[in-house]
Amino acid sequence: MKKSPLLNIALSQLVASLGHGDMVVIGDAGLPSQPGVPLIDLALTRGIPGFIDTVTTVLSEMQVEHHFLATELPHHNPAIAAQVAALGLPDARRLSHEEFKQLSKRARAIVRTGECSPYANVILVAGVVF
């Protein structure tokens, strides 16, 4: 059995397959999936699993070069915005929620959480460990 926190098979395979510049979207329960982009649906019920818990767990195995957030997040969901900032992710880039959804069409996968709060979405861009 794995020793690291990430136990979900689909997420582990996704992270292991990433190359430099590949994107992974982690989103709330309402973020639309995109045609042709695999969806890893973790949602069980409202709030389970939560957005921050899911991001933190993915970060335990994924090297991130930079990330994207919607410009609407701090205004509409300041609690999640503060929690994301506390994660210490490198190089935050902002774009509108509509641009976020367009960029998510290029992701390797979208991970759906049970989060039910607005704009709780991030695009993580894979870095390298060397």
Phi, psi of 111 (to 5 degrees): -105, 120
Give the Å distances, CA to CA, from 106 to 47, 53, 58, 70, 99: 26, 24, 19, 16, 12
Q: Which of 20, 67, 76, 97 is catalytic?
A: 20
Report the distance separating Cα 117 and Cα 77, nearest Å: 7
Annotation marks residue 20 as catalytic: yes
Two tokens at 37?
A: 């982009």
Q: Which residues are known catalytic residues?
A: 20
